[in-house]
Each structure stands twice: as structure tokens, then as C-alpha cells.
Structure 1
Amino acid sequence: MYKVFLVDDEIEIREGMRDSINWANINFVFSGEAPDGEMALPLIQEVKPDVLITDIKMPFMDGLQLSRMVHKMMPWVKIVILTGHDEFHYAKEAISIGVAEFLLKPVCATELMEVLKKIAAKIGQEKKEEETSEKLKEQLQNNTVVLRDRFLNELVMGMVSLQDIVDKCEHFQINIISKYYLVTIMEAETKVWNMNDCKYREYLKFEEVVDKILKGNHQVIKFKRNAGELILIIKGDGELNLGTYAYELSETIMNEVERDTDCTLSISIGSVMERLGGIAKSYVDADFVNKYKYIYGKGKILGINDLKLDLGLKEFVKLDMNSINDFMKYGSYKDIRQFVGDYVNCLERSGMNSLIYIFYSYIDIMLNASKFVKELGWDIEKILPEAVQLQNDLLIINSIDKFKELIESVLRKVLECRENRMDDRYRDIIGKAKDFITNYFYNPNLSLNSVASYVNMSPNHFCSVFSQEAGETFTEYLTKVRLKKAKELLKTTSLRAAEIAYGVGYNDPHYFSYIFKKWEGVTPKEFRSS
């Protein structure tokens, strides 16, 4: 229901309008009246009507003065001016104020009702457009957060040029400039294993705790990599001070997380580096340290310098995982034993067959296998329980032979997942696309390109995959979703076909009617009648 407020100094006119119209029939409620603008203004501020009907000539404060003030204070109010034959010279000023309609006195009830119906339709359309705009703003804001995190992920991994770093940091309003940098990886692990909602809530609590601690801290750039995993880029002017600050901040965060959540937090600290290019190097160190939490135990703060001192090593050798990843993608069951044997021989020839290197190699292989299984759309905990009990497995690796046995078992499981996933490898992507269409079908700008972008695929590839997996084209599916909603509205509301067309994503009501009849065999009007 929309609210109407009437202002006219002639009581007969006010009573005639008030009593001669069945306001509810045209979706309005008569919310108040006043004899002049001065008396009307405080009442209008209290009632906050959708439509103001006012005479021009009135004592104390005339209709134009009132309209000007109402338009300034409540710009959403639609104003209808009542005017006489000799008052048309006011029209130009009224238009500049933003008056919606003019009615010539004396006004008949039928004429007023038609004007109000017209205004109601306009208000309804504006509200729909506002709702759509708000949803798009929310989507844009969410997309901005996702794009910011994606950029920062690429930054720490060394995938962004120096110029792009500067440009994109300016775009995302990130103050990246500093003398020294240090990267810290924080991984939260909840004690709740089989209740996904509970796990997610605990991860949200973890993020809220970190956000609270870092609020207003311009020295730290935080972003999210995965659920329960945050990365900090810490800036500073002094090398020694920055390292000390990283440990102190890590202790503060760990204490608060353990107190306020059901999470165990592991924090890995990289090296202090100079220049923007040093951020990626610091991340490599932090990521290397992160893998050792399975050896030293979770729930600890561990830095690259701690690791160097503990292992007595000056340098670390990062094992090349390309061969492992390639085998998971393209290898066969019959070649597993030969492949693992060749891999171990390579370790031995490189002099990296001590238990510490075997431990590291096993951890790296498990992490890559887990990532591969996750990308295939499987539940890691069900397929590779070893991935969530690495610490237990490391305790039983006491020889090269045991290492080979465990790796062969892991590769067999991964290859089995890969084979089973081939037939429905795009299931999750298509499901995500369909959910997006269901949520935003009303947007007339929704297109194959925008949905393809949402699921991170090229339009051509997405078009092909969608048709293959869904059994119909993208356009056919979108049309079905829109027409389904249109039929629901035709059955359950009194909205006109044109209004429904706009509401389900069609800018042209005639094209909507054409599509509706083409698919349903009847026009929208005939469908409603039947």
C-alpha cells in the first residue's frame, strides 16, 4: 500500500477527494490532510507519504513552497499539483521542482485514480530497480573482495609484475609501499571434523578475531586464501624490528584465537625481505616452514630462522613436484610402482634420502595430492584420510621402503578419483553457474559472458561445457528459469504482463510476450485466464 497526503485550503475539495475514492482498490491509503503548507509540513514529515497532492494557491505557505521543501527533505515523494486555468504560468517552476503530475480543477475521482495508478506503477518500478541496484552493488562489493584476495595471492606467489603491483594496489586502495616486508601464513584447524556448518562457523570466528586485532593497523595487509587460512604481509622500516613484531603479533593472535574459538592455530613466518619483489621470496620461506608443522606439531609459531637453526642447514632445497603432478594427471595404474621407484632413486642420487628429506617429500606429495583431489571435486577427508593425519603417518615412516609403500597407496587413490571424475568433471562448475542464474535471472544484463566470468571460464569453453553437461544451451536454460518465475507471478499476483516482464529480466514487454507464446503456446494473458 502506498500513502497519500492531501493539502488544499478548501475543505469541500479535501472531503470530496478523501471520501469519493476507494483508496484500497488502487493500492493506496489516505494518510492525512491539511489546509495549507505550513500546517502540512510537520504532518508530512511524520507520515512520510509516497504521494503528495497539493493545491498551488493557499494561505501562509503555497503549494510550490511546500513542494520545494518536501522535495528537498523527502526526494522520493511523488508530487501531484492541483491547478486552475489561470495558474498554468506556475508550471515551469513546478517542473523544476520535480512535480510528477498536474491536475486541472475541478478534479473528478476517475481522473485522480488514473493518475495515482500511473504513479503507483512508477514507484513499483523504481523500487524494483533500486532492489536490483542494491543486489548488484552487493555482488560488486563481494566480487571486489574476491578479486583483491586473488590479486594478493598472485602477488605473494610472484605472478605479478612490479608495475601491475603498483597499479592494482592503487585500484584496491592497498598501501603496499615499505622498506621491508615479511609474509606470515596462519592456518586454523577446528576440532570439529564431521559438521561442516560448525567448522565454517569456527573459521568465521577465527577471521573475526584476526580482524578485530588488526583493525586500524596499517602495517599489516591481510587476505584470505582458503577457509581457515589467512596470509599477512607485514611491513616495516627496520629488519630486526619487523621480525620481532611478526612474532609478537603472532603470539597475540594465537592467544586470542585459542581463547575465543575452537580452533588450533599454526603460524609460519617467512624471512624479512627488501623491495616489493622480496614479498614473493618471503612467502616461499613461509610456505616452506608451513609444511614442517606436521613434523614439529600443529598449534605452534614457527619461523624460517627457527627452522634453519633446528636443522643446521644454510639452504633449503625445494623438491620439484612437476613430475608428481604430471603423473597424477596423466599416469596409469600399471606405472605406479616404476614411477615411485624412479622417484626414490632420484632422491638417493641427489643425496636427499635422509629421514628429514623423506618427511618433507612425503608432506609435499600429500599436499599436492590433496589439492588435486579437491580440484576434482572430491572430499579430501574421505578419499585421503592420510592428509588429515600426516603427523601420525610421519611416525611410521622409518625407512625408504615404508615411504615407497605409502606413496604408492596415495597415488592409487588419486588415480582412481581421476578416472571416476572424468565423466562429471564439470558438475560443480555447472551447478555453480545454475545457482548464479537462479539468483540473478531478473537482471536484464545477465549473459553467457557474465556467468562464464563468474565460474572463471572463457565464454566459448563455458558455452560448450554447459550444453554438454546440462543437455541444453545456456540461453534455453536462462529462458526456462525466467518463464518459470513469470508463470508463478501470473498465477499468484495481479501484476500486469509488462511489470512481470521487467521483473524477470526482459527490458521489452513485447519480446517477453513473444518468447512466452513461443515456449508456452499461449500469450501471458491467455495463460492467466486459463
Structure 2
Amino acid sequence: MEQKELLTVIVADDETELREAVCSMIPWKEIGFRLVGSAGNGLDALQLVEQLQPDLLLTDIRMPYISGVSLAQQVRELRPLTQIAFLSGYDDFAYAQKAIEYNVISYLLKPISMRELTEALAEIRGKIRRKFARLLPQKPEKSGWRELLLPLLLDGFAEEAQQDDPALRASLVGAGILAAGQERYSLTVLAIRLEQDGKNRTTPDMAYTVDMLLGKLCRSRSVYSGGRLLTLLIAEEEPRGLELAIDELRQSFARVLELRAIVGISHPFTSFCRCHAASREAVDAQRFAGESGIYHISQIAAESGTAQTDLSALLAPLDNLLRSGSREELEKQLVQSFGASSGTAESDSVTLQVLALAQRVLHTAVSPGEAAALLRRCRIPEPLFSISPPQELQRRVTALCLAARDLLAERRRDGVSLLCAQAMETIEKQYMEEDLSLSGVSEQLHVSPNYLSANMKKYAGDTFMNLLIKKRMEVAHALLTTSSLKIYEVARQCGYSDQHYFSFCFKKYYGTSPAQLRRAESERGGDGA
């Protein structure tokens, strides 16, 4: 990333004069920032962060509707890469220290002059740049743990063992993979592929960045193999916050290196003997991730209602295209695969392998009965080679592959659509609850706030918060024009305990206050009479 690129910033402060002075008097461009928004309260600030995804949020710690610390916590969940600088009175200093875990990069004491604030912001920019610089890939240091970890992840030699033996544990401790004296552990494998414009840009030195980011959650060890990174996470118990850590990883690669990270996650397991099986699970999940960019192997079984199927790496180009490619790309690859073996002794073998691959991929998304019905629809014979010429069988297998690809794409869309529909249903049913939030709904749906937010924008057309505000405002408008409820009663029924803030939001949304709307409706009613 170009070092001179401007960092984006949002300013939030309920003191209008101070906020406007900061926005207008700070020489933002000269000190390396671009001001993209400002807010007068915590809710508006959170809404802007979700929409604009800034590099820095400069906020007062005492904010209406959401306090600065609560705002920092929710920003951390939604946008882990966004750094936060607090403006605080002296009495709030100890209070602010508690929020360090929420990406608070600095806290500045009020009163503060514009010169002092400018100097402080220049220092903050330097801190953020240094954080970004630490994310750049580095050549891995020489270490014996890679020589031990690679066979565990890539070979199945240890899979027959039921538990780790003392010799293996000693080797793991000696290599620095397992902490000395650690008897209990929960393991997870991630498969990570970094792309730019659809092309694989993963390199071995990116393992450093992955381990630095995920190492904040638990012990992380990454190796490069087959055009992807395989990462083993070692925690004392199943790590909480894994999705949040992966969100930060994906945002970091996107912001600093302009790379899209596609991540597959295995089931958690408790024996190093299962590393190979877990790495296969993670690779399968990563191939299935598609547009979402992150996929947990357990989602496959959960969405299909079937047991997890062990997929092979057979015909890797076809595997990837079946899961996430276009029809045109898949059809072209099939023509090449069949064409290369045409007229040779390997022709039947290639056809059989392609059919086997299509069936295995199908079983990650549909029930055995649905898969069998698709085979019948595409007229796949039994026995397989009972028809001639061979080109006719290849044509039918091609039709099966294309149909499987379409079904998988539909199931992915259905899964995300179902997730968004559940979020929309929550808004419809719980809009009157003041504490309804993106992070709370995400927790109910077992996804990260960032993942839900991104998909809501894509499939529902707007951010979660904007959709919630839209629902509340529509209900408020209806109550104000059709009922005799007092304005504070309307506010409470729409999730606002503060009538003044409700009026502020209503006027911001409709361009008129609740009282003005009622007067206009009353005058229209009088004219009609």
C-alpha cells in the first residue's frame, strides 16, 4: 500500500461547536487523513462506521445514546481494523484505560487546542501506519516446528492413533508448537487463500501476517502448501472470538495488501493425530466459501442435513469451478479435461473421475436422495459404460456437472438469503427493543457482525442499522398520523427511551419533526372537514 495514501477518519462529539471546529480547522490532508463523516452521538457514529469503514474514529468518551466505551466495543465487533482515539476529560482517564482492548489507539484530554489536536492526530497516523507496516509479509524465520507440522497436516500417517502419545507431545513442545505442561488443548485448522482479481496471490511469507493477527487469539502456526496457507490454532479450550479474529485478518489483508482472503475452518478437535483430516476439512470448506469469503465445515452438514463427506483433491480445477466458478468456466474446463484424454486408454478413467468428483461435491450440499434424483435427470446409466459412443456419456456427465454447479450456487444464495431473512424478521419483531443491535442479532445467528452487515447490504440493499431505523421510522410515522398516542409514547413503542433523540432521528429521516407532522395532519383533516 502506498505510504502517502490518506487514512480515513470519522469525528464524533456531541458538543456541536467543538465537533464543527475539529472538522473544519484541522488540516486533515496535510497530516495524512481524509475526513469522511461526523456524528453528534454514539448511534450515528456507529451507523457511519458500518457504512464508511474508516481507519480511525475520533470520539468523545461521554456520548449520548451510546457511551464512548460501548461504541468502541461495538466498533471492534463490526470493524476490527478501525482504530479509535478518545477525547476525554481528566476524570474519565481511568475509565478510558479499560477500553484498550477495543482498539483504542490513543486518548486525548480535554480541553485541547487545535494545534495540540493536530499534533496528536499526526502521531496517531504514525501509529496506524506502523501497525499497517507490521502486517506486511515477511520471510519466515528458520524454525524446526515447520518440519514437524507439515507432515501432521499433509500426511495421514498418524490418523490410526486415538490420542497423542508422549513422544509426539514432547516433540511438539520441543518445536514450540505446544506449550510446556499443556495437557488439554483444542485445535482448529484454517485453510487460507489470498486472491486479487480472481488470481491466487498467496505466498509463503504471508504466514507471518496470519500468525501475527491470529496469535492475538491463541497460539497460531501457519505453513504454505499447494497455493494456500494451512494454519493450526492451539488453544486451551475452543477459542471464543474466532470469527472476529478472522474478520480482522480479512479486513487487514484487504486494507493493507488489497487482497481478498478466502478462509475455510475445520471442526475443532483434541488430538494432533487428526491434523491431516482437519486440514482436508478446512480445504474443503475454503473451496466452498465462494463470495462470502469465510466458511466453516460444520455449515455444510448443517445446511444439507447430511453427514460430512470427505472430499478429495481430485481434479482441483474442476473442484473449484464446481463450487464457485461460472457455468462458462466450468464448461470450458470440462471440454479441456475430456478433450485431453479423447481417443486414449485414459478416456474412461477421466470420465469416471469427473463423475466421482461431481457426486462428492453434490453430497456437501444435498441429501443422497436429491443427488440420486439429479443423476437420474441427467440420465447417468448403471453400469456406467453401458452406452456408446463415449462422447455421449461425457455429454451427460457434463450436464450433471453444470446442474450440480447451479444447485450449489443456489444453495449458497439460499443460505445467505435465509440468514438475511432471519435478521429482517428479528427487526420486524423486535424493533421496539431499545437495545436491539447488529452485534446482538449476529450473536443470535452465530455469525460475526461484519459478516452479517456485508450480506445485509448485498441482499437487503442497506446496512442493518439503516434497515432498523427505516422500520422504526415507518412505524412512528404511522402511529403519529393514525393514533392519539403522545409523542413520548410513540418514541417508546419504536425503541427510543429519549423523546428528544427520537424527534432528532425522525426529523433527520423525514425532514420534519413529529410535532410538525401532527400539526400538518391536523390541518389537512380540518380542511377536509
TM-score tier after normalising by the smaller chain length? 0.3 to 0.5
Higher-Rg member (1/2): 1
More helix by share: 1
TM-score calculated relative to the size of structure 2: 0.33
